[in-house]
């Protein structure tokens, strides 16, 4: 663009214009010139088109968009040009002006009418219009063999179709199969997907393609759910050797994991291994080092990805818990956190290097609690962050506070000690920081670190600084003081005193009329007082004392009692708070009669308090005072002040406010209708207890609620329970902080049918019969197995061999356990699967993979699990779905049964006790001649104790075996007899009896499978 002298001169002329009139004349002159050139019959060359379109774009950027109602045709010609620079400029022009110039879109469709509206009606109109007209261009450029042209299309899609998830849902932008353009969208998505998964595409193409695919995935997520093979292929990008591709794929993978949380555990080992390799082993290419830190942006991105996994939910439960992570992966993640904390504590030279280490520390701290880090590690992280709070850099202090908020919010369990009382002054000091964002974060941190040990100190400090703190933070301080006082209060007197103090020191409103203390605060106080009978009289008395002595507010953090005349209070001049008057009107009207006999708080004094503050109160508060005065009249109809009440009602009948006028008129009629006030007492009833347990204050918490809200359900299970700090009388309102109990989640939908890989059955059958052998084999891969039993726990060790090494000399890469699919029930499963050791992602020769199965009871064959493996070999993506058996018989251990008499006695006992439920009979044709010694070897291999066997030459053959089957619920005895039923000894009759009900048929069926040819 620098070679366009005409463009450069035009820009210089505009910048040198002395006033707006001269600028307008120069612009009009140029627009007329461009319009003439565009309308002339002579054909403009590519350079001229670019120059004139650039001038129009510059005017657009200067804010003269309304003057640009031509040039659409030339922009379209640039987009379709075969010259890269012209096509590039055409894309830029469309991207720049499409929001306000639908005419450009119409020009792309061949309509060059300039009399058009200049704004889209909605985001949906913009999206549909833009896609409709750009679809042919985008599809052609995506299919181009020119990589630079491909990148232009990717960048256009990633930027122009990029909407926030919230906006997509609120504006109805999410696409479905019912949309008329769905086929075109799917064609674009499918084309970009092929770029992402192609083994021959270079890294720079994949990087751009992944960004574009993520943008479209947010708009058309359904296509990824329908195409079941897409997500496994896309998440394998995490194993790409190029860091830029992995970094670009992280947002897409996070989005896909929300669609399919069951795949999280498949990707976690690879991410943990990468983090450990880079951060702990410092294995990183030199070009990725940032000063002394290896790829800090890459490390932070992966840490953020792992953190998001812990926050996803699957069927209303956390998709990932520490107990579900294999030992190797968990160890790698914990090492990453420890090294991040240790590295940040070392002396670091240079600001850039310190910033990169701090960024890694902040993200590692967010992970620490999810990984069940030790208390020492948590303490070390807190100390490192507290040290950073003393930094001179505002950004460092802000990020340190943010990391501490996350850490302390997630350390809600009592097993973690977060911040000591001695460390609070450092946070208090930040409340006076020059930057208001630091003050706000410090306030959020004080809220999250509050517990039973420090809440008193924090609440009193916030009350102390309230009158002098930044005006914009006072409402936030009031909200947090109210919630903390309620949450931790064990003394009802302290709670009421604290809340009244809060109301009394808060002025009514700012100079512009904005309320400092929101209505939710005093409304919540009323709710708690009403719902706790023991607070009625005490609250009324404290309010009277405070209003009678409005200047006496503080004495070491407590309201002075009127009897305590020896104290020297700190005086707080000023008018009585509007919110305090509201609470007084409500409480004295409802409960003033409870303290009317007290000499210090007679009913006449209570009436005088309300009456004197009536004219100074705003209209909404006056309405409340009228109601309270009416209730006092009904309870004390013979007092001397009753005529004053009637006079007030008569005067206010002429009020300019309709609400006050209406109340005054109605109350006057009630007060004068019947002398005994029977009708009035029926109309005006005492306020019943509040039924709603919702706390409106929680909605006013601000940014800290966003941090806490998403994690609540996850942290409930992570910490097993949330500590309920509220003790004492305030609990009577029903755990106010948590609110209403949610309804149980709906039952999960049935899982889709899994298509197993070819030739899976041979390995499945072999594993049922033998404890070691070949599980699966193909031209690319070979898997062997070995089963070891430790009572009720079966351990399977798989060895994965790279068969392609022999033929193509190619490594297997990206080897991942995509999913370990259990087919047993989720409520009360027959077994529990876990991965003890995941395979290495890169397999030059071979690698091992270990599973453990905890058998809880007898297992049917229909419950056998499926292991899903994915890997890449020679550039091709492969997925194996292999079913493997969990054979209850393999938990058998031999038993000491001495002779046949003991065997028969036990056999009869089982028959008498369980009848048909304890036994089973099966026949099997082995297809070969059986011998007594052969059957003995078989039962011995199956870990039976052989009690009896007929001699080798005896027909029929009879072999007896006994053993104990183990499960976590209980163990059961097993007796087996094998008897030949033909002269050739090829057909056998199997008799099983077991002390476990329903076990014998399963064992008999297993023995049939083993004995079959």
Q: Give the whole-angstrom CA distance, residue 700 versus residue 476.
A: 8
Q: Give the whole-angstrom CA distance, residue 761 versus residue 767.
A: 10
Tell me which of 887, 919, 950 is where a domain ends. 887
* Closest of 329, 260, 408, 311 to residue 717, by C-alpha: 311
Kindly indicate the confidence band of residue 1013, based on its pLDDT and cuts at 50, 70 and 90: low
Out of 109-118, 795-804, 861-870, pick the least confident.
109-118
- Please report the pLDDT score of residue 572 as a whole number: 40
Q: Residue 301 falls within a domain, yes or no?
A: no
Instruction: Give per-residue pLDDT as tens, 786-814.
Output: 999 888 899 999 999 999 888 778 889 88
Residue 16 structural domain: 1-119
Q: Which residue has the tokens 């052609």?
A: 140
Kindly indicate the confidence band of residue 2, based on its pLDDT and cuts at 50, 70 and 90: low
pLDDT of 739 over the 50 cut? no
Q: Residue 965 falls within a domain, yes or no?
A: yes
Cβ count near 989 (within 10 Å): 16
Cβ count near 90 (within 10 Å): 24
Cβ count near 267 (within 10 Å): 24
Assess whether 942 and 848 both reside in one domain.
no
Assess whether 936 and 830 both reside in one domain.
no
3-state secondary structure (DSSP) of residue 875? coil
Assess whether 804 and 881 both reside in one domain.
yes
Helices (H), 82-202: 84-97, 102-108, 123-142, 147-160, 165-170, 182-197
Assess whether 899 and 844 both reside in one domain.
no
pLDDT of 775 over the 90 cut? yes
3-state secondary structure (DSSP) of residue 467? helix
Kindly indicate the confidence band of residue 171, based on its pLDDT and cuts at 50, 70 and 90: low
Question: In the predicted model, what is the mean pLDDT of residues 383-411?
Answer: 85
Tell me which of 101, 119, 137 is where a domain ends. 119
Higher pLDDT among residues 725 and 690, named by residue: 690
Q: Give the whole-angstrom CA distance, residue 378 versus residue 411.
A: 9
Do 222 and 182 meet the contact criterion of CB atoms below 8 Å apart? no
Assess whether 876 and 914 both reside in one domain.
no
**Which residues define the annotated binding site?**
37, 47, 51-55
- Please report the pLDDT score of residue 368 as a whole number: 84
Kindly indicate the confidence band of residue 442, based on its pLDDT and cuts at 50, 70 and 90: very high
3-state secondary structure (DSSP) of residue 783? strand
pLDDT of 738 over the 60 cut? no
- Number of domains into which the chain is organized: 3
Residue 953: give its domain's CATH number: 3.30.310.10
Q: Give the whole-angstrom CA distance, residue 868 versus residue 265.
A: 12
Tell me which of 68, 84, 119 is where a domain ends. 119
Residue 882: give its domain's CATH number: 2.60.40.1230
Residues in contact with 7: Cβ distance below 8 Å, sequence separation at least 6, in sequence order? 1, 51, 54, 55, 58
Do 884 and 764 meet the contact criterion of CB atoms below 8 Å apart? yes
- Please report the pLDDT score of residue 411 as a whole number: 65
Assess whether 961 and 881 both reside in one domain.
no
Assess whether 900 and 874 both reside in one domain.
no
Assess whether 833 and 951 both reside in one domain.
no
- Please report the pLDDT score of residue 551 as a whole number: 57
Assess whether 948 and 917 both reside in one domain.
yes
- Please report the pLDDT score of residue 417 as a whole number: 54
Kindly indicate the confidence band of residue 41, based on its pLDDT and cuts at 50, 70 and 90: low
What DSSP assignment string belongs to 397-453?
HHHHHHHHHHHHHH--STT-----GGGHHHHHHHTT-SSHHHHHHHHHHHHHH--TT
Assess whether 823 and 901 both reside in one domain.
no
Kindly indicate the confidence band of residue 860, based on its pLDDT and cuts at 50, 70 and 90: confident
Kindly indicate the confidence band of residue 496, based on its pLDDT and cuts at 50, 70 and 90: confident
Q: Residue 918 falls within a domain, yes or no?
A: yes
- Please report the pLDDT score of residue 156 as a whole number: 93
pLDDT of 734 over the 70 cut? no
Instruction: Give per-residue pLDDT as tens, 533-589.
Output: 888 999 999 899 888 876 554 443 444 444 444 333 333 444 678 888 999 999 999
Question: In the predicted model, what is the mean pLDDT of residues 464-479?
Answer: 87
Q: Residue 591 falls within a domain, yes or no?
A: no
Instruction: Give per-residue pLDDT as tens, 907-944.
Output: 998 888 888 778 899 998 888 888 889 899 999 999 89
Out of 352-361, 408-417, 735-744, pick the least confident.
735-744
Assess whether 840 and 922 both reside in one domain.
no
Q: Residue 286 falls within a domain, yes or no?
A: no
Q: Residue 936 falls within a domain, yes or no?
A: yes
Two structure tokens written together for 444:
């959020």
Q: Residue 85 falls within a domain, yes or no?
A: yes
Top mean pLDDT of 345-354, 432-441, 511-520, 744-753 is at 432-441
pTM of the model: 0.76
Q: Which residue has the tokens 């306000």?
A: 100
Q: What b/e readout covers 303-313, taking b as 16+ CB neighbours within 10 angstroms?
A: bebbebbbbbe
- Please report the pLDDT score of residue 737 as a whole number: 42
Assess whether 868 and 968 both reside in one domain.
no
Out of 245-254, 629-638, 710-719, 878-887, pick the least confident.
710-719
- Please report the pLDDT score of residue 349 as a whole number: 79
Q: What rounded mean pLDDT belongs to the chain?
A: 82
Out of 135-144, 672-681, 796-805, pick the least confident.
672-681
Cis amide bond preceding 956, omega within 30: yes
Q: Residue 1007 falls within a domain, yes or no?
A: yes
């Amino acid at each position: 663009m620098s070679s366009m002298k005409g463009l450069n001169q035009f820009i210089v002329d505009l910048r040198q214009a002395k006033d707006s009139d001269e600028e307008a004349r120069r612009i009009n002159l140029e627009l007329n010139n461009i319009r003439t050139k565009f309308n002339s019959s002579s054909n403009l060359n590519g350079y001229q088109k670019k120059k004139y379109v650039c001038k129009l774009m510059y005017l657009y950027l200067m804010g003269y968009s309304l003057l640009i109602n031509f040039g659409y045709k030339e922009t379209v010609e640039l987009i379709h040009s075969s010259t890269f620079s012209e096509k590039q400029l055409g894309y830029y022009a469309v991207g720049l002006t499409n929001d306000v110039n639908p005419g450009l879109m119409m020009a792309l469709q061949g309509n060059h009418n300039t009399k058009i509206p200049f704004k889209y009606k909605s985001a949906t109109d913009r999206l549909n219009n833009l896609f409709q007209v750009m679809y042919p261009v985008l599809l052609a450029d995506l299919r181009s063999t020119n990589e630079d042209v491909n990148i232009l299309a990717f960048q256009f899609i990633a930027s122009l179709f990029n909407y926030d998830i919230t906006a997509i849902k609120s504006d109805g932008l999410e696409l479905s199969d019912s949309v008329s353009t769905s086929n075109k969208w799917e064609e674009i998505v499918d084309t970009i997907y092929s770029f992402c998964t192609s083994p021959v595409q270079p890294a720079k193409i994949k990087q751009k393609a992944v960004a574009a695919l993520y943008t479209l995935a947010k708009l058309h997520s359904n296509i990824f759910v329908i195409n079941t093979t897409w997500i496994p292929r896309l998440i394998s990008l995490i194993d790409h050797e190029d860091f830029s591709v992995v970094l670009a794929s992280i947002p897409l993978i996070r989005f896909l994991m929300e669609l399919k949380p069951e795949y999280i555990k498949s990707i976690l080992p690879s991410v943990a291994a990468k983090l450990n390799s880079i951060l702990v082993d410092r294995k990183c290419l030199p070009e990725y080092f940032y000063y002394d830190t290896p790829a800090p942006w890459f490390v932070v991105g992966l840490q953020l990805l792992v953190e998001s996994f812990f926050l996803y939910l699957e069927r209303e439960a956390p998709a990932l818990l520490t107990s579900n992570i294999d030992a190797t992966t968990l160890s790698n993640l914990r090492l990453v956190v420890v090294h991040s904390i240790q590295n940040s504590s070392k002396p670091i030279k240079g600001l850039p290097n310190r910033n990169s280490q701090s960024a890694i520390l902040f993200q590692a701290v967010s992970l620490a609690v999810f990984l069940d880090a030790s208390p020492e590690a948590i303490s070390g992280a807190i100390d490192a962050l507290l040290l950073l709070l003393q930094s001179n850099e505002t950004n460092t202090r802000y990020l340190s506070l943010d990391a501490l908020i996350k850490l302390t919010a997630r350390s809600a369990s009592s097993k973690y000690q977060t911040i000591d009382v001695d460390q609070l002054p450092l946070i208090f000091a930040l409340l006076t920081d020059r930057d208001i964002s630091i003050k706000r974060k410090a306030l959020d941190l004080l809220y999250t670190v509050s517990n039973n040990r420090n809440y008193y100190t924090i609440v009193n400090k916030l009350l102390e600084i309230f009158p002098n703190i930044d005006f914009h933070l006072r409402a936030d301080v009031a909200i947090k003081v109210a919630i903390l006082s309620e949450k931790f209060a064990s003394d009802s007197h302290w709670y009421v005193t604290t809340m009244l103090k809060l109301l009394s020191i808060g002025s009514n409103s700012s100079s512009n009329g904005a309320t400092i203390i929101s209505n939710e605060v005093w409304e919540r106080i009323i709710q708690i007082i009403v719902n706790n009978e023991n607070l009625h009289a005490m609250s009324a008395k404290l309010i009277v004392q405070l209003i009678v002595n409005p200047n006496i507010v503080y004495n070491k953090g407590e309201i002075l009692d009127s009897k305590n005349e020896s104290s020297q209070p700190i005086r707080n001049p000023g008018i009585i708070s509007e919110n305090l008057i509201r609470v007084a009107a409500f409480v004295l009207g409802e409960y003033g009669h409870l303290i009317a006999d007290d000499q210090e708080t007679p009913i006449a004094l209570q009436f005088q308090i309300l009456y004197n503050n009536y004219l100074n109160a705003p209209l909404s508060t006056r309405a409340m005072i009228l109601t309270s005065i009416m209730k006092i009249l009904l309870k004390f109809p013979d007092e001397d002040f009753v005529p004053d009440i009637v006079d007030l009602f008569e005067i206010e009948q002429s009020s300019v406010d309709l609400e006050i006028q209406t109340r005054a008129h109605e109350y006057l009629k009630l007060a004068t209708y019947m002398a005994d006030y029977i009708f009035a007492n029926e109309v005006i009833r005492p306020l019943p207890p509040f039924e709603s347990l919702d706390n409106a204050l929680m909605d006013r918490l601000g940014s800290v609620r966003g941090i806490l809200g998403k994690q609540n359900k996850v942290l409930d299970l992570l910490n097993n329970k949330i500590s309920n700090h509220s003790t004492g009388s305030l609990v009577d309102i029903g755990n106010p902080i948590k609110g209403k109990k949610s309804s149980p989640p709906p039952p999960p939908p049935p899982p889709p049918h899994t298509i197993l890989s070819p030739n899976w059955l041979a390995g499945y059958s072999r594993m049922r019969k033998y404890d070691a052998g070949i599980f699966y084999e193909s031209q690319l891969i070979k898997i062997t197995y070995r089963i070891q039993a430790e009572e009720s726990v079966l351990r399977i060790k798989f060895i994965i061999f790279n068969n392609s090494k022999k033929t193509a000399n190619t490594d297997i890469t990206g080897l991942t356990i995509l999913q370990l699919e259990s087919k047993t029930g989720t409520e009360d499963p027959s077994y529990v699967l876990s991965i003890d050791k995941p395979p290495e992602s890169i397999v030059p020769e071979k690698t091992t993979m270990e599973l453990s199965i905890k058998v809880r009871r007898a297992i049917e064959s229909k419950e056998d699990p499926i292991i899903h493996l994915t890997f890449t070999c020679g550039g091709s993506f492969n997925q194996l779905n292999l079913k493997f058996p969990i054979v209850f018989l393999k938990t058998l251990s031999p038993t000491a049964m001495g002779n046949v008499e003991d065997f028969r006695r036990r056999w009869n006992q089982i028959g008498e006790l369980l009848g048909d439920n304890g036994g089973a009979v099966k026949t099997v044709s082995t297809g070969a001649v059986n011998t007594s010694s052969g059957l003995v070897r078989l039962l011995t291999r199956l870990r039976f104790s052989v009690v009896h066997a007929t001699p080798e030459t005896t027909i029929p053959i009879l072999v007896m075996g006994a053993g104990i089957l183990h499960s976590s619920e209980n163990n059961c005895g097993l007796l087996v007899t094998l008897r030949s039923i033909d002269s050739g000894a090829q057909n056998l009759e199997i008799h099983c009896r077991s002390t476990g009900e329903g076990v014998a048929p399963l064992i008999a069926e297993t023995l049939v499978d083993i004995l079959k040819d």
